[in-house]
Amino acid sequence: MNPEQIYPRKGKNNTESVYLKSVITDPSIIVGDFTFYNDFVNDPRDFEKNNVLYHYPLCNNERLVIGKYCSIACGAKFMFTGGNHTMKSISTYPFPIFPDEWGLDEWKCGQAWDNHGDIIIGNDVWIGYEAVIMQGVTIGDGAIIGTRALVTKDVPPYTIVGGSPAKVIRKRFDDETIKKLLEIKWWNWPSDKVKDNLQNIMNGVISE
């Protein structure tokens, strides 16, 4: 149990999955322990380049925050403000990102977009194949994002969503169980305690 290593699995051909925390270099992308990304198309170590799109933190002061023990499937994308041109002005054309051409201050490039803020992913979230998470969205702990879902609104904890745009399919557990899980916050336990309680966690037995 070492969240600092790059590859969670041992062996020659087990390089499709990485612990994201170990490969991220951008300080505006914050990832918790044991969260992994799987990619069977591209090198998963290139997550920052291939999966976090239109992310210009110097202009827009926006972050991607991902909690602990998340599972992110191949091709999932996090779409930031830069991919959504402003609708406040007469034109949607992003003049400020071409400052030399139009005689503008390059540090005002953020005016080219409507900034909807950070993307926040809770703990123990499963994001399915080629799902797209839009800027400003918060996904609660324990949620599941379906394959190729387009998530444009916040997702409550322990809720399954799917479709384009994503809609609630159902809750994973009843309200009382969700309340207990959010109180326990097992993902904050020391990894040794998680290991000791794996059978309960894997079999749906709530234990403190």
Catalytic residues: 85
How many other C-beta atoms are found inside a 10 Å radius of the C-beta of residue 68?
22
